[in-house]
């Protein structure tokens, strides 16, 4: 009788674990694509310059509170090379690479994006202070990796 009871408990535990496991997989698989903050889209890395919005990299005002920054990462820099964005507005960074994997990491912020050929990675950030923000590439991408950096000027 006792053994029976334990077997039952283990069976329930096993089913519960399986359900939990499948739920996690389902959330990971489906939830990921529906999340705009971590959204990933595909792009032909050989046609970046012809593909909107990367045919016109730079800062675009979407509305009074939101700006889009379209950037291309490549060995060994970012295009465009100069960026100026307003303070206190939502900035939507959109990045892709034309060659290898880079990163777009704004020092002293939580923006640390992967810049991947074939993918468009998106991240939102609002600068709370004006000033010059240093951007570094944190992914080793070749001989000029340590020189791959830029500055974002955040203005009133």
Residue 81 CB, shortest distance to ligand CUA, in Å, is 14
Which lies closer to ligand CUA via its Cβ, residue 32 or residue 140? 140
The SS3 assignment for 55 reads coil
Which lies closer to ligand CUA via its Cβ, residue 72 or residue 148? 148
Handedness of CA 87, 125, 99, 53 (dihedral sign): negative
Q: Hey, how many other C-beta atoms are within 10 angstroms of the C-beta on 11?
A: 10
Residues 97, 72: Cα–Cα separation, whole Å: 6
Residue 136 CB, shortest distance to ligand CUA, in Å, is 8
Residue 142 CB, shortest distance to ligand CUA, in Å, is 7
Residue 147 CB, shortest distance to ligand CUA, in Å, is 9
Strand partners, 63: 66
Distances (CA, A) of 38 to 22, 41, 107, 125, 143: 22, 10, 20, 12, 30
Which lies closer to ligand CUA via its Cβ, residue 105 or residue 122? 105
Which lies closer to ligand CUA via its Cβ, residue 80 or residue 86? 80
Contact footprint for ligand CUA (CB under 6 A): 76, 102, 137, 139-141, 145, 148
């Amino acid at each position: 009788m006792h053994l029976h009871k334990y077997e039952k408990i283990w069976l329930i535990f096993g089913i519960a674990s399986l359900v939990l496991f499948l739920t996690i997989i389902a959330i990971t698989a489906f939830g990921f694509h529906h999340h705009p903050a971590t959204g990933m889209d595909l792009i032909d890395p050989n046609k970046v310059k012809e593909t909107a919005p990367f045919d016109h990299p730079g800062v675009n005002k979407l509305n009074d509170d939101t700006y889009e920054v379209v950037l291309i990462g490549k060995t060994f820099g970012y295009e465009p090379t100069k960026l100026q964005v307003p303070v206190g507005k939502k900035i939507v960074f959109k990045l892709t690479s034309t060659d290898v994997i880079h990163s777009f990491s704004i020092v002293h912020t939580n923006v640390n994006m992967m810049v991947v050929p074939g993918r468009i990675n998106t991240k939102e950030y609002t600068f709370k202070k004006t000033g010059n923000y240093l951007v570094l590439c944190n992914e080793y991408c070749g001989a000029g990796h340590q020189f791959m950096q830029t500055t974002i000027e955040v203005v009133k």
